[in-house]
Amino acid sequence: ETDGTLTPYDLGMGWIVSKKKEDFIGKRSLTRPDTVREDRKQLVGLLPEDPGFVVPEGAQLVNNSVKLKDVPHFAPPGLDGAPIYGRKASPVPMLGHVTSSYWSDALGRSFALGLVKGGQARTGDIVYAPLDDRTIAMRIVDPVFYDKEGARRDG
């Protein structure tokens, strides 16, 4: 789920950053304008509208229910830049993508994790994953799906 562009705050793990230490490696990076933007991609949980469907990892997430065949595909750089389908249309703005997706016996349904722009503030919102044969609606939820209180861990 993570790469070098994410901060503990993007992962909902701000509690791990020490407030007591005067300085530590990486502290300056956490205060840079780019790392405190509200529209940064943040880790979220995703519940597909169809609980039996496991959304492919890497699926793009958008605001509107669109069919992938209706999304304009532009020619690679160096060509004329015209849409392949002969239409002039704006590309659909991507909000993020699915980082992992699984079936869970414990939950009795599929679930996914993803990175979504401003994701932590979007809890409860619906986003869409346009796929080749359908578009899947997914609700943004907390990324912790099981044992949120930690009772299993704590015995």
Strand partners, 112: 46, 101
Looking at residue 114, its pLDDT comes to 97
Q: Where are the domains of the chain?
A: 38-145
pLDDT tens profile 111-146: 999 999 999 999 999 999 998 888 999 999 999 888
pLDDT tens profile 76-124: 444 555 555 554 555 678 899 999 999 999 999 999 999 999 999 999 9
Looking at residue 82, its pLDDT comes to 52
CATH number listed for the domain at residues 38-145: 2.40.30.110
b/e burial code for range 64-80 (CB count within 10 A of at least 16 → b): eeeebeeeeeeeeeeee
> Model pTM?
0.78
Looking at residue 78, its pLDDT comes to 46
Q: What is the DSSP string of 105-146?
A: TTTTEEEEEEEEETGGGGTT-EEEEE-SS-EEEEEEE-S--S
Looking at residue 71, its pLDDT comes to 59
> What's CA 97's distance to the chain center, in Å?
5
